[in-house]
Amino acid sequence: MDHIDPAHYGKQAIIDAQIDDFCQELEPIKHKIIGLMMGNHEWKILERTGTDPTKRICEKLGVKNLGYQCLIHLTLRPDGLSEGRYGGSRTVKLFAHHGWGGGTRTRGGDMTKVSRKPGEYIADIYIFAHSHQSWSDPETRLDVTSKGKPISRDCLIINPGTFKKGLSPGTIPTYEERQGYGPQRLGGRVIEIEVDTHKWVNLRAIE
């Protein structure tokens, strides 16, 4: 109960109340949302109760439901360039997966378990979660243009972190406390995509 907003105490439909609160938070910025993904907790709710919180949230906000994993194709155009014209545009591909595995307690172990995905899915940015750890692993790969010119392409693998507090304010322990996990810095990460005239794009993760 220490994890539930006191405003929801005594409500029979706690999940409905949480969905309403979450949608109210995102309503002012819903026009900026590419899509929302499902996590393991939402999957468990669907599996056990037959209701899909992610689907309901996406329908309520009018945004795309991206499922448990997704591939996204982004085309970045200069200001004033109309759709269908590609001069100076850049294409950035994202692979995102909610993540898996709760056994690792080190950053190295968390990075190793996802290290094979860049060899399985073609993308520039790989986003994982689930472990609540915050880290990024920038890499560089070489590509070639249609005119035979070699170019450098950034590749970024990232785990954006968590907004969940791991320390209970009361006597009921959190999952992190019961399992012996260390504290994590709260907050997410912003991925900056900068168009570079000398290469493809620059990718940076900022806390």
Q: Are 54 and 99 in the same domain?
A: no
Total structural domains in the chain?
A: 2
pTM above 0.75, yes or no: yes
Give the integer Cα–Cα distance in Å for 157 and 186: 19
Q: Are 20 and 73 in the same domain?
A: no
Q: Are 59 and 78 in the same domain?
A: no
Structure tokens at 11: 């409500």
Give the integer Cα–Cα distance in Å for 38 and 29: 19
Q: Which domain holds residue 6?
A: 1-65
pLDDT in tens, 34-77: 999 999 999 999 999 999 999 999 999 999 999 999 999 998 87
pLDDT in tens, 101-136: 866 778 888 899 999 999 999 999 999 999 888 999
Q: Are 16 and 35 in the same domain?
A: yes
Give the integer Cα–Cα distance in Å for 205 and 207: 7
